[in-house]
């Protein structure tokens, strides 16, 4: 067995953590293999080809539409692909990712195009949809339950295998960087999804971009930390608002309120602005700000 394919529990030998290339950092991601069902295809083409030598993948479940989770779809021409209905559009037509990220006609859009070409990304036909609480039966005994956890994208799903309590949280990834910067992201849903994952009772969790976390309590405290990053962003953004001066999200563009420094500057400045807009939506809903003269003031 390849060293990037690891079992997570001695008792459940047919559930594997598949470590993504580059420790699963973007543009790669980690996968979970449950029997003959693979969750996400972003570990790298090289690794996916190696997996195919040992396993016959019949079904690929996609946690969400982002390119770093679906880049290897084309390597499974005979597998059945399933995802949540709300994430279907940019998976079936990857050119839709540009408007979804709001990078159409932008330099960041060209950079994306280069990445897509590098991965040889192709459109993927989805053959069935998964819904919240649905149980995907795998082999004789494995039961993979779908946890619709929107916010990162509208159709983002996590999963838990019910016998082993091994879960996959996808890009609710418990890193220091919660991300909700596509047009179908929603910050309030994101926070609700974190709470939903806390109620799962997961004992081991595989994450899109971080090493697995073991133990119920560790998982719960990491979910709390993850949420607290959002609250710190709330504070930073609110500290730029006042009761007098009308501020729009665009006025806060490029001020490093979310990214401490920009690595992929063209893209991250756009992402940051989209995320600031999501915080404004939340502030407005919670009555913390009010709209005035096309801008916002503290209420
Ligand atoms: Zn993602």
Q: Kindly give the distance from the C-alpha atom of residue 62 to the centroid of ligand 1, in angstroms, as a whole number.
A: 11
Q: Kindly give the distance from the C-alpha atom of residue 100 to the centroid of ligand 1, in angstroms, as a whole number.
A: 12
Helix intervals (H) in the chain: 45-54, 67-70, 88-92, 97-101, 107-119, 187-198, 216-238, 265-285
pLDDT of residue 84: 98
Residues with CB under 5 A from ligand 1 (ion): 66, 171
**Mean model confidence pLDDT for the chain:** 97
- Checking if the pLDDT of 106 tops 80, the result is yes
Over residues 193-204, the mean pLDDT reads: 98
pLDDT of residue 241: 96
Which of 229, 259, 287 marks a domain boundary? 229
Helix axes 187-198, 265-285, angle to 10 degrees: 80
Residues 6+ apart with CB under 8 A from 93: 123
Q: Nearest CA to 111 among 122, 100, 119, 103?
A: 103
Is residue 235 situated within a structural domain? no
Number of domains in the chain: 2
Q: Kindly give the distance from the C-alpha atom of residue 210 to the centroid of ligand 1, in angstroms, as a whole number.
A: 13
User: Are residues 191 and 246 located together in one domain of the fold?
Assistant: no
Which residues constitute the domain of residue 270? 242-298
Say what the alpha-carbon torsion angle 202, 134, 140, 213 is, to the nearest 10 degrees.
-20
Over residues 110-124, the mean pLDDT reads: 95
Which of 229, 253, 287 marks a domain boundary? 229
The pLDDT confidence band at residue 26, using thresholds 50, 70 and 90, is very high
Encode pLDDT of 152-198 as tens digits.
999 999 999 999 999 999 999 999 999 999 999 999 999 999 999 99
Is residue 253 situated within a structural domain? yes
Q: Kindly give the distance from the C-alpha atom of residue 84 to the centroid of ligand 1, in angstroms, as a whole number.
A: 14
- Checking if the pLDDT of 242 tops 90, the result is yes
pLDDT of residue 52: 96
User: Are residues 220 and 276 located together in one domain of the fold?
Assistant: no
pLDDT of residue 136: 98
The pLDDT confidence band at residue 1, using thresholds 50, 70 and 90, is confident
Over residues 266-291, the mean pLDDT reads: 97
- Checking if the pLDDT of 53 tops 90, the result is yes
Q: Are 205 and 253 in contact (CB under 8 A)?
A: no
pLDDT of residue 273: 98
Q: Kindly give the distance from the C-alpha atom of residue 181 to the centroid of ligand 1, in angstroms, as a whole number.
A: 9
For 117, the token pair is 């070409």
User: Are residues 267 and 225 located together in one domain of the fold?
Assistant: no
pLDDT of residue 3: 94
Whole-model pTM: value is 0.96
User: Are residues 219 and 286 located together in one domain of the fold?
Assistant: no
pLDDT of residue 132: 98
Q: Kindly give the distance from the C-alpha atom of residue 189 to the centroid of ligand 1, in angstroms, as a whole number.
A: 15
- Checking if the pLDDT of 293 tops 90, the result is no
The pLDDT confidence band at residue 294, using thresholds 50, 70 and 90, is confident
């Amino acid at each position: 067995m390849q060293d990037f394919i690891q079992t997570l529990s001695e008792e459940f030998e047919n559930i594997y953590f598949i470590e993504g290339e580059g420790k699963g950092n973007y543009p790669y991601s980690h996968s979970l293999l449950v029997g003959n069902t693979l969750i996400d295809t972003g570990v790298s083409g090289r690794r996916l080809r190696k997996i195919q030598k040992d396993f016959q993948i019949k079904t690929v479940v996609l946690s969400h539409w982002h390119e770093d989770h679906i880049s290897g779809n084309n390597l499974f021409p005979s597998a059945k692909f399933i995802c949540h209905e709300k994430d279907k559009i940019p998976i079936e037509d990857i050119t839709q990712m540009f408007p979804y990220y709001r990078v159409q006609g932008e330099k960041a859009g060209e950079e994306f195009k280069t990445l897509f070409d590098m991965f040889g990304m192709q459109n993927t036909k989805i053959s069935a949809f998964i819904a919240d609480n649905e149980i995907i039966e795998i082999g004789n005994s494995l039961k993979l339950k779908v946890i619709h956890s929107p916010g990162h994208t509208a159709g983002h799903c996590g999963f838990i295998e019910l016998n082993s309590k091994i879960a996959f949280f996808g890009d609710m990834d418990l890193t220091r960087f919660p991300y909700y910067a596509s047009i179908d992201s929603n910050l309030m849903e994101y926070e609700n999804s974190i709470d939903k994952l806390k109620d799962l009772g997961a004992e081991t969790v595989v994450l899109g971009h971080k090493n697995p976390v073991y133990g119920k309590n560790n998982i719960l405290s990491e979910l709390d930390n993850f949420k607290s990053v959002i609250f710190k962003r709330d504070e930073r953004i609110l500290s730029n608002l006042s009761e007098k001066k009308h501020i729009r999200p665009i006025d806060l563009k490029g001020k490093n309120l979310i990214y401490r420094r920009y690595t992929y500057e063209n893209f991250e400045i756009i992402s940051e602005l989209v995320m600031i807009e999501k915080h404004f939506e939340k502030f407005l809903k919670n009555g913390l700000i009010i709209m005035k003269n096309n801008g916002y003031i503290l209420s």
